[in-house]
Structure 1
Amino acid sequence: MALDSRTLAAISGDDDLLLLSLMQNDEKHQPIFHLQDISDSQYKQLFRFDRPGLLEIQSAMGFPEFMSCPNRTKFNSMEGLHVLIRRLSYPNRLEDLSFLFGRTKFELSNIFNTTLDFIYEKYERLLLTLDRPWLSPGDLDAMTTAVSDKGSPLDNCWGFIDGTIRPICRPRQNQRVVYSGHKRVHGLKFQSIMAPNGMIAHFYGPIEGRRHDAGMLRESGVETEMQHMMNRPNNDVFCVYGDPAYPLTPYIVPPFRGAVISANQARFNKKMSAVRVCVEWGFGKLLSLFAFLDYKKNQKLYLQPIGKYYKVAVILTNCHTCLYGSETSTYFGLRPPTVQEYLRL
């Protein structure tokens, strides 16, 4: 009867009738299709990865075959990955996913959060350190060569650092804390380092939207880590290139600033700006794969773990780059690490 009412409501445009037909939200629905029955192209469009790729991620992340939610809802870990990725890939409501997966919205909420927590608790550390096997001195040399070959005046630049503010739904409390006067938006700030092989090598945040990039750099501690790890045998260092908000240090190089700069300095800024655009490609890919993050009405500061959403999405984006490459890795001609190399703890 609910289905007939829903059909009638859609035909007649009666919103009250449509709401009445959807009131039984606590009931399970039959899934509208089975995952094994859809084509490979449809599968990848829905879940961002192909079937072999998602199986590889499940294995590399060490998911158990079955998982249990705090309310004792049991589910297959592959189902959990499907729910997580589909939820993040588009601003879906849980009611919409209920018809897709054949579970109630309460079950889906628990499955989503349990899978999210598993990845976050186990792999968040990958985003907070540069001590990774795919950032060895040999790999860093290859990255600096690739950046230099694209016209960079710096022969020791291995990556690009950037701070970005992501809009959120305006909170009722502490609005001034998260308001950015520069961007004129309420939001949370994140800092990322994009490597030329397409990987987001470091990802820090969130912090309050009103904070400056230089303060976020200091709080992240990434420069201190670079002082210990980014040194070359010839007493030179590996550096990253940033925007004018960052201070000039041996490990971080910003463009030349000032109202009047020389022709050589302007040429330097222009050439570095051309290769630095890959930072925008990296965040563009993140939001393209996981558009849920780009819909600010879904980002409710005191109701949702927004930072956790972003960090898990970055981990999954890096896994996507490992499997399929990216615009950045193609541009610089570098191959990203394998999923197993990236997820190695």
Structure 2
Amino acid sequence: MADNSMILAALENDDELLLLLNTEEREKSVLHKVNIDALNDEQFRSMFRFQREDMTRLSCALRLPTKVVCENRTVCSGMQGLCILIRRLAYPSRLEDLSHVFGRSKAELSYICNTVLNLIDSEHGHLLENLNQSWLAHNQLDEMVDSVRRCDAPLSNCWGFIDGTVRPICRPQENQRLVFNGHKRIHGLKFQSIVTPNGMIAHLFGPIEGRRHDAGMLRESGIETQMQRYMTTQNNEVYSVYGDPAYPISPYIIPPFRGGVITALQMRFNKKMSAVRVSVEWTFGKVLSLFAFLDYKKNQKLYLQPVGKYYRVAAILTNCHTILYGSETGKFFGLCPPTLDEYLS
């Protein structure tokens, strides 16, 4: 009480008193949090993209620590940290808005979000870089090839589809030309991904500068070297992916027929393969549908935020979502994804 009396005595007028009271009310409102346990299942999934029981399972499968300690000594549980990260990515909310959900300050939320983001990327980032995975074994690739064939695709050894995407970012103050994509007329970062018929993102390379061409991104990714090693059978038969005309032809990457004049048979090949290749766009769309924060370019500030890491971790979480709830791509090809433990092991 004495401290309050001294503060009130130091105020010169009623305006200063009103400002002080408003500041205190604002600080109190930040500490007020939503009772997450009181949310029903529909509300919980709308806020956090996963069902309540699956969120606990996901936290264990991601091997998040029971106690997450940030650089500034902020502490939270692994489950709460995952909820904070997913809610941050799920909608382009400000940290101030999330304060009302979790009852933590903006600084705490920022530290927790970045810490959990780094934990997931460092522990599971290799899942987007390495094709040497159990769910991509040759017997699994045979099932993928068969599922593509069943959709009347003429390519007999296609196990996936490769494509690049440009993610818009806020215009940076420096190096604007490096990230400007002349085709899309935006500033952005590029990613290259391979999507399999079961709806999974098998490989994701990036980010690189938005001005780069898909062929240059392919060369820099080194994905063909991996495919030569892991997508070749003992009989020297190869599994290939199908891409758009920007990619050079090779035994492992097949683009459509190009040229001003192509035969009717070649045109038929292009049309049928284009009908199944659209599945890669569905997966790009799912990442942004689940995590709309990535689709709001004013939030994607290159030198202030880990923009590329946001997208990489969102891709891992999208794969987990596909495993638990399926995807349009998997339904289209009639193929189930691997289990959560098989993918994250």
Give the aligned partner of residue 206 of structure 2: 205
Q: Is 1:247 the counterpart of 2:255 in the alignment?
A: no
Structure 1 residue identity aligned to 2:77: N
| Number of the residue aligned with 1:135 | 136
Distance in 2 (alpha carbons) for counterparts of 1:24 and 1:159: 55
Note the 1:11-22 alignment, pairs <5 A: 21=22
Kindly report which structure 2 residues correspond to 1:57-72, keeping only aligned pairs within 5 A, or say none.
57-72=58-73
Could you tell me which amino acid in structure 1 is paired with residue 158 of structure 2?
A: C
AA aligned opposite 1:339? L
Q: Which runs of 4+ in 1 moved over 6 A?
A: 22-25
Identity over aligned pairs, percent: 61
Contact 1:25-1:95 within 8 A present in 2 as well: no
Alignment of 1:186-225 (within 5 A): 186-225=187-226
Identify which range, 87-96 or 229-238, moves more after superposition.
229-238
Q: In the alignment, which residue of structure 1 is the partner of 2:112? A: 111
2:260 corresponds in structure 1 to: 259
TM-score by length of 2: 0.92
Counterpart in 1 of 2:325?
A: 324
What amino acid maps onto 1:146 in structure 2? S
Q: How much has 1:66 moved relative to structure 2? A: 1.1
Q: Distance in 2 between matches of 1:26 and 1:312?
A: 32
Which whole-Å deviations, capped at 9, do the CAs of 1:195-253 have from their partners, x for residues lacking one? 00110000000000111001100100111100111113443210000000000000000
CA contact (8 A) 1:319 1:339 kept: yes
Aligned-residue CA RMSD (Å): 1.7
Counterpart of 2:306 in structure 1 is: 305
Question: Counterpart amino acid of 1:208?
Answer: E
Does the 8 A contact of 1:168 with 1:301 survive in 2?
yes
Residue 81 in 1 paired to residue 82 in 2?
yes
Q: 1:32 to 1:290 in 2, by over 3 A?
A: same
Cα deviation, residue 31, structure 1: 3.8
- Residues 224 and 252 of structure 2 are in contact (CA less than 8 Å); yes or no, is this contact kept in structure 1? yes
Q: CA deviation at 1:33?
A: 2.6
Instruction: Name the residue aligned to 1:50.
Output: 51
Where does residue 9 of structure 1 map in the other structure? none
- Give the match's secondary structure for 1:337: coil
**Residue type of the alignment partner of 1:41:** E
Does 1:154 find its partner at 2:155?
A: yes
Match of 2:124 in 1: 123
Provide closer, same or farther for how the CA distance between residues 23 and 243 of structure 1 changes in structure 2, counting only shifts above 3 A. farther
The DSSP-based 3-state class of the residue aligned with 1:287 is helix
Any conservation in 2 of the 1:197–1:332 contact (CA below 8 Å)? yes
Match of 1:228 in 2: 229
CA distance in 2, matches of 1:339, 1:28: 39
- For structure 2, which runs of at least 5 residues remain unmatched after alignment? 1-17
SS of alignment partner, residue 154 of structure 1:
coil
After the TM superposition, which residues 267-278 of structure 1 pair with which residues of structure 2 at under 5 Å, given as runs? 267-278=268-279
Q: Deviations over 1:137-182 (max 9, x none)?
A: 0000000000011011011000000011111111111111111111
Which 5+ residue runs of structure 1 have no aligned equivalent? 1-16
Residue aligning to 2:15: none
Cα contact 2:88–2:293 (8 A) shared by 1: yes
Q: Quick one: distance in 2 between partners of 1:138 and 1:226?
A: 16
**Equivalent residue letter for 1:50:** Q
Asked if the contact 1:120/1:308 (under 8 Å) is kept, the reply is yes
In the alignment, the residues of structure 2 paired with residue 268 and residue 317 of structure 1 have an alpha-carbon distance, to the nearest angstrom, of 31
Equivalences, count: 327
* 1:39 is the counterpart of 2:44: no
